[in-house]
Amino acid sequence: MDLPAGHILILSGHPGSGKTTCAEALAHLPGGPKVHLHSDDFWGYIKTGKIDPWLPESHTQNQMIMQIAASVAGAYAANGYFVALDGVIRPWALPAFAEPGLPLHYVVLRTSAEEAVARCQARGGDSLTDPAVVAALHAEFADLGAHEDHALNVDGLNRADTMAALQAALASGRYRLNAPSTSTAG
């Protein structure tokens, strides 16, 4: 499957859902130019005054980061790249990404809370491993409201099967937020 130039994929989900692994793998597929943006990097650029993004008082900062991520993703897509942006990106942030009017896809990877915690704790390093925080973030994606049809259950799937499910989801067109115009008026 060749990923279409000029499209943005927001690959979201709770920590430990596989979004970074999949976004990186998508960006390395053969075909046209692709870029992987890891939204955590945008928070990492803040050296003084950063508020952990899962804390309630971080909302203004999170809005700013999503606006920056949308701007960067839009610039790449407008210049012919397929953009795979991964992160804990909730539905409230989607309008910033829709603003440029570029083709936009939203896929939320979902596993069980137990699998999410186990994956996060297995990663180690400086990644998020606190089971209470992981479980709380998992709960935020348990019901996506109007965007529930953008959830992709990958519970129990290995990397290869998760990638296959994601590629099939993208190919289906079902996860696109702004469907192409079918108007014949001109």
Instruction: List, for residues 131-148, the tens digit of each pLDDT value.
Output: 788 888 888 889 999 999
15-19, 57-61, 62-66, 84-88: lowest mean pLDDT where? Answer: 15-19
* Dihedral pair phi/psi, residue 44, rounded to 5°: -65, -20
Rounded-to-integer distance, Cα 141 and Cα 105, Å: 17
Rounded to a whole number, what is the distance in angstroms from the first to the last CA of the chain? 31
Q: pLDDT (tens digit, 9 = 90+) per residue, 135-181?
A: 888 888 899 999 999 999 999 999 999 999 999 999 999 999 987 65
Q: What is the pLDDT confidence band of residue 184, given thresholds at 50, 70 and 90?
A: very low
Domain-embedded: residue 103: yes
Find out whether 85 and 23 touch, Cβ atoms under 8 Å.
yes
Q: Which long-range contacts (CB under 8 A, 24 or more apart) does 72-77 make?
A: 72/37, 73/8, 73/37, 73/97, 74/8, 74/99, 74/100, 74/102, 76/35, 76/37, 77/6, 77/7, 77/8, 77/102, 77/103
The pLDDT mean for the chain works out to: 90
Residue span of the structural domain in which 59 resides: 8-172
Rounded average pLDDT over 28-56: 94
Would you say residue 36 lies in a domain?
yes
Q: List the one residue out of 39, 43, 45, 33 whose CA is nearest residue 83.
A: 33
Inside any domain, residue 110: yes
Describe the strand order of the beta sheet including 82-87 as a list of residue ranges. 34-38, 82-87, 8-13, 104-110, 151-153
Q: Are 163 and 107 in contact (CB under 8 A)?
A: no
CA distance 134 to 55: 12
d(CA 34, CA 60) in angstroms, rounded, equals 30
In terms of pTM, does the model score above 0.85? yes
For residues 33 and 117, which has the higher predicted lDDT (pLDDT)? 33
Q: Is residue 182 pLDDT above 60, yes or no?
A: no
Is the residue at 59 inside a domain? yes
CATH at residue 133: 3.40.50.300
In a domain, 178, yes or no: no
- Tokens 């279409």 -> residue: 4
Q: What is the pLDDT of residue 183?
A: 46
Domain count across the chain: 1
